[in-house]
Amino acid sequence: MSKFAEPMVRLIDELKKLPGIGSKTAQRLAFHILRSSDDDAEALAAAVRDVKASLRLCTICNNITDVDLCVYCSSATRNQRLICVVEEPTNIAAIEKTKHFNGVYHVLHGSISPLHGVGPEQLRISNLIRRVEGGQVDEVILATNPTVEGEATATYLSGQLRRAGLKVTRIAMGIPVGSDIEYADEITMLKSIEGRREL
């Protein structure tokens, strides 16, 4: 016999499917929802429903958006000739935090990962190629992660994009700001030496 009533068990089971949520946390969240007001519980349910019903991918950049085109692709103030390529939609927020990038984005929704059977054909590369072939782009910044998979993706993309005759750049890699050189690992140090700039 179950410890809780059936609707409560169902809610706990659903919450357990979320990343980082174990049985105990799911149970705590479920009881929190039970104790909250009807309005709050309904608002949570509506938010979950809406996120699935109204969000889609931007037809130009593949970013997650509720309107097509997304806020970046439809903006008149952003430089549409400068594209920053990222692996996931969440990477956009990290770049936007800098307040120094005024271009637009292209989201690949992953990176080349041979061990997981993910090749270029599984990524959203074809519409990036179409975007740059129109001649409306001056530069593409490859901002994939500094991992083996991210590097492989960047190298593959640079080969494809250079054929279109445009400037292709890669984000710099090196020592994080505020850290200590003494504690930098060998490969990070190597990349910072390689990517040094003249002052």
Q: Does residue 87 bind other proteins (CB under 8 A)? A: no
Q: Which of 43, 48, 129, 190 binds other proteins (CB under 8 A)?
A: 190
Please say which residue, 63 or 91, places its beta carbon nearer to other proteins.
91
Q: Which of 47, 76, 115, 177 binds other proteins (CB under 8 A)?
A: 115
Residue 79: its H or E element: strand 79-86
Q: Which of 186, 193, 197, 199 binds other proteins (CB under 8 A)?
A: 186
The token duo for 30 is 């479920």
Q: Which of 78, 171, 191, 192 binds other proteins (CB under 8 A)?
A: 191
- From CA 118, how far away is CA 112, in angstroms rounded? 5
Q: Does residue 116 bind other proteins (CB under 8 A)? A: yes
Q: Residue with structure tokens 């890699």?
A: 173
For residue 6, give every residue at least 6 positions away whose Cβ sits within 8 Å of its Cβ, in sequence order, or none: none
Please say which residue, 103 or 150, places its beta carbon nearer to other proteins.
150
Q: DSSP readout, 50-78?
A: HHHHH-EE-TTT--EESSSS-TTTT-SSS
- From CA 144, how far away is CA 141, in angstroms rounded? 9
Residues 140-179 that bind other proteins (CB under 8 A): 146-149, 151-152, 155-156, 159, 179
Residues that bind other proteins (CB under 8 A): 19-20, 112-117, 119-120, 146-149, 151-152, 155-156, 159, 179, 183-188, 190-191
